[in-house]
Structure 1
Amino acid sequence: MLYFLQQLLNGVHSAAIYALLAFGYALGNGLLRRTNLAYGGIFAFCGQTMILAAVYGWQVLWLTLPATIAFGTLVAIAYAGFVTRLLSRSVLAPLANRSPNAVVAATLGLLIVLMEVSRIAADTHDYWLPPMLATPVVFAAQGGFLATLTVIQLVNTAIAATIVTGGAIHLARSRFGRHWRAVSDDPLAAELCGIHTGRIFHRALLYGGFCAGAAGILAALYYGNIGFGAGLVYGLKILFITAVGGYYAPGKAALGAAAFGMVEALWAGYFPIEWRDAWMYGLLAAMLVLAGDRRDAPGTV
């Protein structure tokens, strides 16, 4: 029983990261309604930028470790805003009303650019952050077996949950949230009602970019390193996860992504891990087919 509890605890951190990524992706996709492959690139790029900035702060600026982490976080968040702003104004806005394939090709190109910029900036070297807040917190113990989470896992989970919960409340109660729902439902009708659809579009993508950047920073702090190809892997995974939870409902997308993270952790604890991604993608595909059947059934809307 404690082993099962430990696998659930292992899934808490992954669930939080996935939920944060899915919330930000659905926030932008609810208006764009196109596949944005660059989203995973922003996640990985910000995580790698945070690590590179922290290395610079430690080796060149002679900062203390907390100041180094703060410096890397600020630089990564600034780059998240810059890249997202550039993406929304120069790529997505001009292509939003054209063929979906144009957006897919353009965002895939930007994903590759971000991956290569990170690789060149690191000189194709892997830099690692030191283990931080790795003290285990015991949740249960029996017969020498301890069910634990580390402090960094708890901190990251709390930060991600706060961002998602705060974002969901803001969407539900704020003027921006009302305008976002109006533009998501019918952008032409929203514009006729006096809503500045372009401003809402750019703000939604900017908030989504900050979610991706925050997730990248949290992942970098926990794992200590993010590979150059992580952007494509996480981008495709979030694309599939968000499709099940709801492309146009950030809160539901976050819940679906959190559930996926828990199931993924349970699979890793009980079945061969080399087959994990294959089976999880198969599960997502089956859920998409079933969801499509329900939407197409007579009497459904």
Structure 2
Amino acid sequence: MTGSRLIRIWCFTAVLSSLSLLAACGISIDAEQARVCRSALPALNPDAAITVERVQTGPVPRSLRVDYLAHYPDRPILERFAICHFVAEGLSPNKTELVGLATEEGPLSGASLYLLKRYYLDTPEGAAGDPGSQPAADVIEIPMDVAYWLQQILVSLPRTAIYALLSVAFALVFGLSGRINLAFGELAAIGSAATIAGASIMLGFGASSPVLGLAAGLAASLFAGAIHSAVGGYFTIGRIVSTSPQPSLIATVGLSLFLMEYLRLVQSPVTVWLPPIWSEAWPLFRAQNFLVSLTPITVITAGIGLIAAVSLLWLVQATSFGRAWRAYADDALAAALMGVNGPRLLIQTLALAGAMAGLSGMLIVAQYGGLGFAGGFQYGLKALIAAIIGGIGSIPGAMLGGFAVGLFETLWSAYLPIEVRDMALYAALVVFLIFRPGGLLGFKDPTPRPV
């Protein structure tokens, strides 16, 4: 398979992922701005209980309108509204700065707005005074136990997608070369830094749209992950020809430390965070006063992970690159005799695996806001565990392992002490290595793989 063909395929994947982002264009209510606007309502209505009825876009750009009811103890319920105007929107770090506020009685003066922000909104009491969104969501009633379990599963979707993509990166390289690259967690951190850089470049050009910012971050993370993985893997795996995998394993440890320090120097030790986007909760079900909700960004990140996984499975099963990869992984000598260029195939595989790791870094930024220069280690370690549990040489097995680890962490955190969760995960790895060393979808032989 030619490099241009591989690039076209991943461009197609990037386009599909961008379409997932574009699907969120209709999400025009920023949750953080809505929280600030709602938090101002108790100060505007002293001694009144506030019931928020709806939040919608305001009459001018970068504004929101909140319709609410003010319940005073000695007079009828009053229907009121507030229109909040903000300095920026989208990915701008100062998008929650309130620059104007108007009610049914007219706009607040500059002095009144300053006092409202300085002595109420910027205090802990002001943040705690948010009356919340509409409480009476028209959703289906379900049992409490089911609602709690379902909420935990929905919250875990992005983390599961991140583990699956990183696990696939391990499976791609190990399946082809029999070597483990321990630097994929750091490559995810590289992808997260590239995502923030791409979004910052768009902000520098005056484009604060989350769609454009994350689309630029998506392209940057794929490129950065692919190029760093290809170059680093070439020297740590491609150039070390020892029959034992240990020299390459040690070399990838050095690569991991190098990338961590390299990222610290380039990015600085201070983690840069993107502001929350598309974080308004969608109510799905109800159990008494507990609402099962889902945020748009959770749907987007999980959808991008699913698209990438399906695209990768198609790539390996239905393209000449996939046939060459499977042939070389099965018998490298026979594949070489049939014309497969092993060194070039290794570089392409390293680039593809790095792109998956970079994409996982982009999902971390989109969902959680950022990732420090040393934050990729834990992600990489857990993804390696997921790849081993699923079958480290099997791409579908690695995806299944990522899902299993994500589900395990979710259920343990929901019902058992969270402080021993990681210990339990590592213990589960030991159990798998004893009783199922090949993983869920790996070799069926009872002996361990040569790791």
Question: Please, what TM-score do these two structures have when normalized by structure 2?
Answer: 0.62
Post-superposition offset of 1:104: 1.8
> In the alignment, which residue of structure 2 is the partner of 1:64?
208
In structure 2, C-alpha distance between the alignment counterparts of 1:76 and 1:14, rounded to whole Å: 18
Aligned twin of 1:272:
417
Structure 1 position 89, deviation (Å): 2.5
Contact 2:202 2:216 in 1 (8 A): yes
Q: Which has the higher helix share?
A: 1
Structure with more of its chain in strand, by fraction: 2
- 1:89 pairs with 234, 253, 265, which one? 234
Structure 1: how far apart are the matches of 2:251 and 2:400? 29
How far, CA to CA, are the matches of 1:54 and 1:213 in structure 2? 15
Whether the aligned pair in 2 keeps the contact of 1:32 and 1:96 (CA below 8 Å) is no
**TM-aligned CA deviation for residue 96 of structure 1:** 4.7
Secondary structure of the corresponding residue to residue 130 of structure 1: coil
What letter is aligned with 1:196? N
What is residue 200 of structure 1 aligned with on the other side?
345
Deviations 1:72-104 (A, max 9, x none): 333332222221221233331011544322112
2:445 counterpart letter in structure 1: R
Q: Work out which of the residue numbers 126, 131, 151 in structure 1 matches 2:276.
A: 131
Deviates more, 1:179-188 or 1:81-90: 81-90
Contact 2:365 2:371 in 1 (8 A): yes
TM-fit CA distance, 1:53: 4.2
Q: 1:123 to 1:296 in 2, by over 3 A?
A: closer
Paired amino acid for 1:14: R
In the alignment, which residue of structure 2 is the partner of 1:248?
Answer: 393
Offset, 1:125: 1.1
Identify which range, 44-53 or 204-213, moves more after superposition.
44-53
Alignment check: 8 A CA contact 2:194 2:217 kept: yes
Distance 1:53 1:121 in 2: 15
C-alpha distance in structure 2 between counterparts of 1:87 and 1:122, whole Å: 19
In structure 2, the residue corresponding to 1:292 is in which secondary structure?
coil
Alignment of 1:204-223 (within 5 A): 204-223=349-368
Q: Say yes or no: does 1:187 pair with 2:187.
A: no
Query: Is this contact kept in 1: 2:186–2:256, CA < 8 A?
Result: yes
For the 8 Å contact 1:95–1:102, the answer to whether it is kept is yes
* Aligned residue type for 2:428: L
Give the total of aligned pairs. 296
Q: Distance in 2 between matches of 1:253 and 1:74?
A: 24
**In the alignment, does 2:179 pair up with 1:29?**
no
Counterpart in the other structure of 2:47: none
Q: How many angstroms does 1:3 deviate by?
A: 0.6
**CA offset at residue 292 of structure 1?**
3.2
Separation in 2, partners of 1:173, 1:76: 25
Between the two structures, name the one with larger relative contact order (CA 8 Å, sep ≥ 6): 1
What SS class does the counterpart of residue 282 from structure 2 fall into? strand
Q: Which deviates more from structure 2 when the two are superposed, residues 255-264 or residues 84-93? A: 84-93
Aligned equivalents of 2:420, 2:209: Cα separation in 1: 38
**SS, match of residue 138 in structure 1:** strand
Q: Which residue of the other structure, out of 238, 252, 261, is the alignment partner of 2:383?
A: 238
Q: Which residue in 1 is equivalent to 2:37?
A: none
The separation in 2 between residues aligned to 1:176 and 1:78, in whole angstroms, is 19
Give the alignment partner of residue 228 of structure 1, picking from 344, 351, 373: 373
2:270 paired with 1:120: no
201-210 vs 118-127, which moves further: 118-127
Tell me the alpha carbon deviations over residues 107-141 of structure 1, each in whole angstroms, 9 at most, x when there is no partner: 11111121112222232112110001102223321
Could you list the per-position Cα deviations for residues 28-52 of structure 1 after superposition, in whole angstroms to 9, with x for gaps in the alignment?
2101212211111111111123224
Task: Answer with 1 or 2: which has the greater Rg.
Answer: 2
Cα displacement (A) at 1:280: 1.1
Unaligned runs of 5+ in 2: 1-145, 439-443
Corresponding residue for residue 147 of structure 2: 2
* Structure 1 residue 99 corresponds to structure 2 residue 249: no
Q: Percent identity?
A: 32
Root-mean-square deviation (Å): 1.9
- Counterpart position of 2:408: 263
User: Counterparts of 2:305 and 2:311 in 1: how far apart (Å)?
Assistant: 10
Contact 1:73 1:217 in 2 (8 A): yes
Matched, 1:153 2:303: no
Report the residue type matching 2:254 in the other structure. G
Q: Report the equivalent of 1:166.
A: 311
Counterpart in 1 of 2:27? none
Is the Cα contact below 8 Å between 2:236 and 2:255 reproduced in 1? no
Relative to 1, partners in 2 of residues 1:47 and 1:137: Cα closer, same or farther, differing over 3 Å?
Answer: same
CA distance in 2 between counterparts of 1:64 and 1:11 reads: 28
The reply to whether residue 296 of structure 1 matches residue 446 of structure 2 is yes
The answer to whether the Cα contact below 8 Å between 2:164 and 2:399 also exists between their aligned partners in 1 is yes
1:69 and 1:161 map into 2 onto residues whose CA distance is 17
**More displaced, 91-100 or 183-192?**
91-100
Contact kept? 2:385, 2:429, Cα under 8 Å: yes
- Cα distance, 1:288 vs structure 2: 1.9
CA contact (8 A) 1:245 1:252 kept: yes
1:12 to 120, 134, 157: 157
List per-residue Cα deviations over 1:235-284 (Å, max 9, x = no partner): 22111210111111101110121121011111111112111111111112
